Amino acid sequence: MARRKWTTEEIDFLHESVGNMKVPTMAEKLNRTEEAVVIKMKRLGISCTRNQTGYLIVSQLARLLKVDHKTVRLWVENHDLKCVARATRFLRKFYFIHPEDFWNWAEVNKEKVDFSRIEPKTILPEPEWFEAERETHKVITYKKWTIKEEKELLMMLSNGSSLKDAARRLNRSVISIQRKYSRLNKF
């Protein structure tokens, strides 16, 4: 059987379809074998959906944020973090998050993200507010809470102080303040 030469239209179709269509579907539409499609995609350098789209998959974003991937999935499912389901080479679908969508979401949901854990220049483009927020969330090495600090925290928050104010006054991170307050309220 003679090999059929790839046309410009077929190559354009591959470029447009990667990430939007599974390989078996592309192969069927092009009347080619799946193997031929995969080989051509590799030769064209378009075999990786992530590289083609500029998006991050959930586990990749979780790794950059230094959180569990389930945390990011919960943000997507319960807290409106925008994502796109994309087809990959075969049967799997991945959920992709555009870096700008993450930053827009993070700006509104600052209390959910520990910005001090994010290395600078890893999720580009970084917004202007990121570095200031990163400094605000700077990790303070763990120190045991005293009873006096716990009482002061409860008093400050019951009097309407913000988490940031409490963190600054007690020399703790905002996340630490949230967690301690949550634990104290369970009793």
pLDDT tens digits along 85-140: 876 655 567 788 999 999 999 999 998 998 988 999 999 899 999 988 888 776 55
Joined tokens for residue 10 = 């077929």
Q: CA of 87: how far to CAs of 24, 99, 180, 184, in Å?
A: 11, 19, 42, 45
Q: What is the CA radius of gyration of the chain?
A: 23
pLDDT higher than threshold 80 for residue 159: yes
pLDDT at 153: 94
**In the beta sheet, which residues pair with residue 56?**
97
Instruction: Please state the rounded mean pLDDT for residues 167-174.
Output: 89
Q: Is the pTM higher than 0.85?
A: no
pLDDT higher than threshold 90 for residue 1: no
Write out pLDDT tens, residues 31-84: 999 889 888 988 888 866 555 567 888 988 999 999 999 999 999 999 999 998
User: Who contacts 178 (Cβ-Cβ below 8 Å, separation ≥6)?
Assistant: 111, 163
pLDDT at 187: 59
pLDDT at 55: 84
Instruction: Please state the rounded mean pLDDT for residues 11-20.
Output: 83
CB 56 within 8 A of CB 96: yes
Q: How far apart are CA 101 and CA 81, in angstroms?
A: 7
Q: How far apart are CA 108 and CA 32, in angstroms?
A: 47
